[in-house]
């Protein structure tokens, strides 16, 4: 495995990941440089790394080891948005989530569920949101 530096958008931030021929292991704590997955912006950084690998049809292991707090905004930006660009079956076969348990797993499942509902029928989803609020 080699370690690659990948520039993220216009910032001077470099994230590191280990990579083999057909697989990339992304350790969130190393990418974020802290133990909290709480901002949409951090989620966007992770999304870029995942998306680049998936575009090359690599398997991605997204590892939450060492992450103590996760919020839906991060999960939506990093994982939920993938469902707009990739087929659900493809993601099921190419995206492996590791060391995410309990409440964090429940949050992720909710984010994925609502993202899929939105993609299937954005107008109905928005009507449901408006009627709720």
Between 6-10, 62-66, 94-98, 127-131, the lowest mean confidence (pLDDT) is in 6-10
- Per-residue pLDDT at 8: 42
Q: Which tokens hold the place of 7? A: 């520039």
pLDDT at 27: 95
- Say what the pLDDT of residue 129 is: 78
pLDDT at 17: 57
Structure confidence at residue 71 (pLDDT): 96
The confidence score (pLDDT) of residue 13 equals 35
- Per the CB < 8 A criterion, the answer to whether 21 and 55 are in contact is no
Percent of the chain residues topping a pLDDT of 90: 70
Phi-psi region of 33 (alpha: psi -120 to 50; beta: other; left: phi over 0): left
Q: Higher pLDDT residue, 81 or 131?
A: 81
What's the pLDDT tens digit per position in 5-56?
A: 444 443 333 345 566 678 999 999 999 999 999 999 999 999 999 999 999 9
Q: Indicate the average pLDDT of the chain.
A: 86
Joined tokens for residue 34: 């802290």
């Amino acid at each position: 495995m080699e370690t690659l530096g990948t520039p993220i958008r216009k910032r001077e931030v470099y994230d590191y990941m280990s990579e083999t021929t057909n697989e990339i292991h992304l350790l969130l704590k190393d990418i974020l440089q802290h133990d909290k997955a709480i901002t949409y912006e951090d989620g966007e950084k992770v999304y870029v790394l995942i998306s680049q690998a998936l575009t090359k049809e690599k398997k991605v292991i997204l590892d939450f080891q060492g992450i103590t707090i996760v919020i839906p905004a991060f999960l939506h930006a990093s994982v939920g948005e993938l469902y707009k660009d990739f087929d659900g079956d493809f993601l099921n076969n190419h995206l492996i989530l590791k060391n995410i348990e309990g409440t964090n797993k429940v949050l992720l499942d909710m984010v994925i569920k609502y993202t899929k509902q939105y993609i299937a029928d954005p107008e109905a989803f928005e009507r449901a949101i408006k009627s709720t609020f």
